[in-house]
Amino acid sequence: MIKLVILIIVYFTFPLVIIFMCKRWTVLKKLGSIVLAYAFGLILGTSGILPAGSQNYYLELRGDPALSGSRMESLLASGTITEDDVFVNSIRQTQDLLTTIAIPLAFPLLLFSLNIRKWLKYAKTGFVSMILAIISILTIIVSGFFIFRDLVPESWKVAGMLVGVYTGGTPNMASLSYALDVDPSLFLITNTYDIVIGAITIFFFITVGPRFFRAILPPFKPTGEVVDSEKAVAEAQSFEDFSGLFKKGRLGPLLKALGISALISVVSAGIAMLLPKTAFQPAAILLITTLGILASLIPWINRIEKTFQLGMYFILVFSFAFASMADLKNIFSVGFIGLLGYVMYAYFGSLLLHLLLSKIFRVNADDYLITTTAFIYSPPFVPVIAAALKNKDVIVTGITVGVIGWIIGNYLGVALGYLLKGF
């Protein structure tokens, strides 16, 4: 029992260490706190610090995070598993509980501080490019599903996650892994492939990307509207600014926000329980997202500072715990080559189709690049690309598109995943 308590403390405190490391060292900040959480989670899971179960135990799991108490008693009585397996299963139950709780708590907090009315007001600037991006993502991921479904395990779940990550980034992908009941290893491997491909592509965007896309698409034409670029940059960078998160005067309001988030999760779960068992998880996530958006429209909730950062803290807890459950050997398994192919097809295919449609509908190069960045990488990367473009006027557009992606990603991912499940 004591060991499990210590493990829980580690899962909740180590993300704070990661936040400190990112604040202290610029190179780690560039890598991103989520990437570090996955990396350290993998190290914890594969270093031998956590005890490993017997081969029979892992065979009995059959992709489940952990076994029920009654199942463990039955297997122990028959001699199939050992006493050590019981403790290993307790660890996995703890990990599963943390990851299950973290996402429902995180997502409303991510939405509370968003000014939905403001972002919808600015959405018109990059509206065409945003719609074309969504069409491209859905078209390529659906076509990829039919191409790779015999090569990728649970390909319909992967399709749903890819829609989420390419419209709203890792937070959406994490929530969809819960909604679609994705195996920890499958989620981690998919996300790892995405991170590697994304790192290569963002380097291209920053260096030769502006010149390349401006040679293909029409030039950007200023609208004449005054844009406070410094304020826009500060707003984008604030998404990952954890400073003062646990400040004395801020702690009380944040605890209220956390309580509201917990209430939203409980209410959503209660309503979802009225539906068939198979619909519980997707319904719960969609209800949590919807109620989180509605809560953001209440002024006093919207004004609570650092709710987004508190939500990201729970995303880090999720990422760290989730990664520690995965089997690192599977990342390099030949069986996942098809998954790598699907991720690459989805990533580059959606970029190319979006580029083609932008050419047809005469979307300018700067709007194309900023909306692409906002969807795939999320708002914190928008100022970086705007600087590469030497165009401050696209910053607000980029942030707006990124926020809208956060909002719609869960709906699109769940809808597409369950649609493809029928094929």
pLDDT tens digits for 158-196?
A: 999 999 889 877 778 888 888 888 887 788 788 888 877
Q: pLDDT at position 183, please?
A: 80
Compute the distance between CA of residue 395 and CA of residue 369 in angstroms, rounded to an integer: 11
Spatial CB neighbours of 263, under 8 Å, sequence gap ≥ 6: none
Q: In this structure, what token pair is assigned to residue 58?
A: 């892992």
Is 167 buried (19+), middle (13-18) or exposed (0-12) by CB count in 10 A? buried
What is the reported pLDDT for 360?
A: 94
Q: What is the pLDDT of residues 323-375, one digit of tens each?
A: 787 665 655 565 678 899 999 999 999 999 999 999 999 999 989 999 998 88
Q: Which has the closest alpha carbon to 95: 294, 287, 322?
A: 322
Q: What is the mean pLDDT of residues 97-126?
A: 78
* Contact yes or no for 33/316 (Cβ under 8 A): yes
Contact indicator for 292, 108 with CB cutoff of 8 Å? yes
Q: Residue 120: its pLDDT value, please?
A: 66
pLDDT: which is higher, 85 or 227? 85
DSSP states of 90-118? HHHHHHHHHHHHHHHHHHHHHHHT--HHH
Residue-range domain boundaries for the chain: 2-240+312-421
Q: Indicate the pLDDT class of residue 416, thresholds 50, 70 and 90.
A: very high
**Angle, alpha carbons 13-16-19 (nearest 5°):** 160
Closest-CA residue to 363 (of 130, 168, 25): 130
d(CA 401, CA 408): 10
Q: Can you give the pLDDT at residue 62?
A: 64
Q: Mean of the pLDDT values across residues 6-28?
A: 86
pLDDT tens digits, one per residue of 18-38: 888 888 887 777 777 877 888
Q: Where are the alpha helices (DSSP H) in 113-227?
A: 116-122, 127-148, 155-168, 170-179, 184-207, 209-214
Residue with tokens 């590469």: 388
3-state DSSP assignment of residue 316: helix
Average pLDDT for 92-114? 85
The answer to whether 174 touches 103, Cβ cutoff 8 Å, is yes
Question: What pLDDT is attached to residue 135?
Answer: 95
Q: How many CA atoms lie within 13 A of 348 on its CB side?
A: 10
Average the pLDDT over 64-87 and give the result.
79
Q: What is the pLDDT of residues 186-231, one digit of tens each?
A: 887 888 888 778 878 888 888 888 999 999 999 887 655 545 556 6
Determine if the pTM surpasses 0.85. no
Of all helices (H) and strands (E), which one includes residue 348?
Answer: helix 337-360
Q: 134 or 80: whose pLDDT is higher? A: 134
The CA-atom distances, in angstroms, between 419 and each of 145, 291, 412, 413, 415 are 11, 24, 10, 10, 6
Confidence of residue 83 (pLDDT cuts 50, 70, 90): confident
Residue 287 has pLDDT above 80, yes or no: yes
How confident is the model at residue 351, as a pLDDT?
A: 95
Sign of the torsion formed by the C-alpha atoms of 230, 232, 235 and 237 = negative
